Chains A and B, each alone.
Chain A
């Protein structure tokens, strides 16, 4: 096995995946969000293929295929349909502005480096240096989810976070056992579908998909 090459490729791949996550912080149109998510998923599937090749683990090919179909084709398709339906909605005023978002996300990635230090030290996989980036992506996805006001942006934040988890599982353990992996895909799909249904409900009930109007329920 060509370990240095594999190691470099996986670090490069993880960095690209993380960058696609950070794009969400400074782009505003929903279209850019969806594109970022789609390309992120594509890179992630390629990384699964690379890891599968270098580690001789053919189950990963199947996982890569499922991931590609689900996250690079099906989900972006539905997201685009929603985008068309609601017109060109922009995330005009997120709770945190672009500059602070970028600084905060940098700090989140640093935090990820701190908390995953023991993992990187213990692991002897060639992919280990990407683990902090995966954890960073999880945090960035979470950050997008809590600071955006549009329901669709929140969904994309959630999906990016899911990608981060998939990346973490890939880099740390070459993927979880296949039965778990498939179950997770099913859950992501179902979860996405139910969220999508709710976006339509929110639109018809509140006549907007800004979630900060939701303030009926207090005590």
Chain B
């Protein structure tokens, strides 16, 4: 097995989900290579080189990789993929955007969002919003796979440092251009990696109530904030808070679902949490079917009391 992991980063910091993808890679082989594509991303390459099990870091560094445009990145990955049995990407917006473009260039199928590796060619992944788990066998010469990071343990950093090999950059395809982004700074932990998530649904009633009731609880627990699609659509919370089939998939130690009814599309994004707590005024809400602890009642009373009880 010869495994390549595509690193996700922002040119400065290696996204921790890369360490989980590497965890998956090390189930396939004793060592794996990591590919870092970016601009002035030396610090990222160095961080990748310190992860346990990394054989080599390969780095393509050029101005036209500064914003990770799929057209340019796919050229680099497709060029290298032929010498690997497996190419693994995180099943994040970054990996979902890039992986299939590479797959098509190689004329291979992609296996999306794996949660388990049964053999070098056999993977388990959820379909139908997580209501069905499908085991698939992939006989492609290069197995291109996106990995659900919450399903694999992160590999730690270690003392050994892998060599960093610079690659000649590929072409700038020149067909797309980065204009800007809005990445609101948050002091809270990353939703995908947080140990505790406090999530709100339509039951919160308003943007104001969402923050008035959930922020203090999240602050005191050091938790990330999450939301349902309905709450995001109603502008209670920004889009990157969305947990579910089409948002983020999380598996924290504790998931507190406040005012969330429990639509299958939402449950798909949090059902692997260790402890699920549901607070809802409707005793029949489907969220109670997946909750380990349930409390029926009015959020507006319960949440301040709970925050006071936990955080005084």
Partners in one complex: no
Give residues in A with beta carbon < 8 Å to B.
none
Give residues in B with beta carbon < 8 Å to A.
none
